[in-house]
Structure 1
């Protein structure tokens, strides 16, 4: 992994009035790596994905910085050096234009090439993601594609200009296991083909297991744990990460009750002075309720928890 980050996020803050949706988030993405961003719904993951592409709503108040190879104006880099694979492939594609025309338009929006060359690049991108008979299906409309083919088409659109970074926002939501693995495999192949880094945003820890190099776990707009995927997913040091992992289906008796995190995440406009996870955490002490934890390095990863260094196996608390 290159010591120089490709994408740098520092103290990112996004709020809507009193609602603090993202609170002081910092992380790096290095060339060629896969960073998984995980957490429950409402953690701020998709908003961070939009911020990486300069797509934060105008109604939001923002602070901090997001830089791609030092460039801060990411709107100018969108589609060329950084691209998005959206959650809903059908709504991301125009219903009134052939898929190939949409990819060709994406090419010509950032490259000075002829219509013929743009078309050739579009067909090649569709072929690369496994669209059968790509030259013919490039002339088809999105409604003529199956759901899996549409998902492949938006991956082709994101990678057609060979960006440095691909941001995939919940790309496998509502897919069955077989199709999920197909989409993840195509994402991995395209990342390797164009040499891009991948930011994989998901609520599903199983998606990042085996696919991510590092994992960023978010809760209530903050990072609670950030480090190598193998360590974070096998030996979590943040109680919230441990709770998420314990909530996954495990091998064992079918009648065994599935552990679940108690309570619900706090509303962004109702955050107290302490750790946002404290009301749900079985390990919380008085300090957790009065002071927000500062990230500290524990076992080779950053952990925002007052008790991270003193609890050897927080996972057992959620068994």
Structure 2
């Protein structure tokens, strides 16, 4: 994978933060053309009488050629992408694609026994452990296991504050209550004295969002934050997460298997398959007109409001490959309706196409509409 390719990939402008310390939002005029995605950025001179476009801000988080392996087998394979100030980057893919492992790597939390290479830089710093809780934080999948069962919730938030800020216990406790109140927990001062088992599932998820944002980080990583919740609570948590991201001016990396969540909440989307990027670009464009066959297959498998009732949904054939069972060519080739000889012998590298990056030899042949794909 070309390490520098994703750094210049076009995007939609994210919502600005609401507090005085919010990071600036890039202008839509700053989006580069596809010709600049895979190489150095070249700025054309402005036309006579027109102001020069605002340059895109430097990324908060830069991932280049990230590889994570266990016992010599790569699970994440040469992944590169950026996270820009104030944006929401969705990471999607089937189970086993490497989404959660990538998310943990952003916080320097890879499992024991994992070997890593490549770079992950947060504002230029590779010391992710030192930045965790301060400039980057995690909203985990399982809120109950993330909270200590033997300490009141408010005490845990206060401890998170004091771990990165030199404030008194009284001030830390006040910030903890304010954070719980901000995520919509009723009677926050009283609830701060309660234990996690005294919270409902939705309230626990709100509490871990409060903990992740209490120190106003630059980046929040949410790893499948709504997996165990029903539809109503899922929408509540996503709304709270969006509100808190904007309130503290943070960027959000949203790991999910739900393409509809990405469609409604993300500025850009990274589609992963077998530990690599299949497609990376503006969420609206990628989901409306996918260029990677894998993305198209995921979308074609979704129910359509205008589809015939009680019709069996199409599905991608087969299942994702095990990390140690990859062949020489494209990992998706055994499941892809468009696979040809080059797909089975040579793994594709991400290339700019239609305002995004696509790793596919047959990207130009993906049908539109996508329901014709399967």
TM range (shorter): over 0.9
| Mean CA deviation greater in 231-240 or 17-26 | 17-26
Q: For the Cα contact (< 8 Å) 1:238–1:314, is it kept in 2?
A: no
Q: How far has the Cα of 1:203 moved from its partner?
A: 1.0
Q: How far has the Cα of 1:310 moved from its partner?
A: 4.0
- Indicate the SS of the match to 1:248: coil
Give distance in 2, aligned partners of 1:167 and 1:115.
27
Aligned to 1:286: 341
Aligned to 1:238: 292
Aligned to 1:263: 318
- Indicate the SS of the match to 1:21: strand
Aligned to 1:41: 95
Aligned partner (choices 53, 56, 63) of residue 9 of structure 1? 63
Give distance in 2, aligned partners of 1:18 and 1:6.
31
Q: How far has the Cα of 1:89 moved from its partner?
A: 0.3
Unaligned runs of 5+ residues in structure 1 are none
Q: For the Cα contact (< 8 Å) 1:7–1:68, is it kept in 2?
A: yes
- Where in structure 2 are the equivalents of 1:174-253 lying within 5 Å? 174-251=228-305, 252-253=307-308
Give distance in 2, aligned partners of 1:6 and 1:131.
30
Q: How far has the Cα of 1:313 moved from its partner?
A: 2.8
Aligned partner (choices 267, 274, 283) of residue 329 of structure 2? 274
> How big is each residue's C-alpha offset from its partner over 1:166-196, in whole Å with a ceiling of 9 and x where there is no partner?
0000001022211111111000000000000
Q: How far has the Cα of 1:249 moved from its partner?
A: 1.7
TM-score (norm 2): 0.84
Aligned to 2:353: 298
Aligned to 2:226: 172
Unaligned runs of 5+ residues in structure 2 are 1-25, 27-55
Aligned to 2:124: 70
- Where in structure 2 are the equivalents of 1:98-109 lying within 5 Å? 98-109=152-163
Q: How far has the Cα of 1:210 moved from its partner?
A: 1.2
Q: For the Cα contact (< 8 Å) 2:99–2:272, is it kept in 1?
A: yes
Give distance in 2, aligned partners of 1:317 and 1:263.
18
Give distance in 1, aligned partners of 2:335 and 2:179.
46
Give distance in 1, aligned partners of 2:126 and 2:265.
28
Q: How far has the Cα of 1:132 moved from its partner?
A: 0.1
User: In the alignment, is residue 157 of structure 1 matched against residue 211 of structure 2?
Assistant: yes
Give distance in 1, aligned partners of 2:182 and 2:287.
32
Give distance in 2, aligned partners of 1:232 and 1:255.
28
Q: How many aligned residue pairs are there?
A: 319
> How big is each residue's C-alpha offset from its partner over 1:67-87, in whole Å with a ceiling of 9 and x where there is no partner?
001000100000000000000
Q: For the Cα contact (< 8 Å) 2:92–2:270, is it kept in 1?
A: yes
- Indicate the SS of the match to 2:68: strand
Q: How far has the Cα of 1:248 moved from its partner?
A: 1.3
Q: For the Cα contact (< 8 Å) 2:91–2:99, is it kept in 1?
A: yes
Give distance in 1, aligned partners of 2:368 and 2:260.
21
Give distance in 2, aligned partners of 1:317 and 1:45.
28
Q: For the Cα contact (< 8 Å) 1:107–1:160, is it kept in 2?
A: yes
- Indicate the SS of the match to 1:272: coil
Q: How far has the Cα of 1:309 moved from its partner?
A: 2.7
> How big is each residue's C-alpha offset from its partner over 1:98-144, in whole Å with a ceiling of 9 and x where there is no partner?
00000000001111111000000000000000000000000000000
Q: How far has the Cα of 1:19 moved from its partner?
A: 2.4
Give distance in 1, aligned partners of 2:362 and 2:103.
30
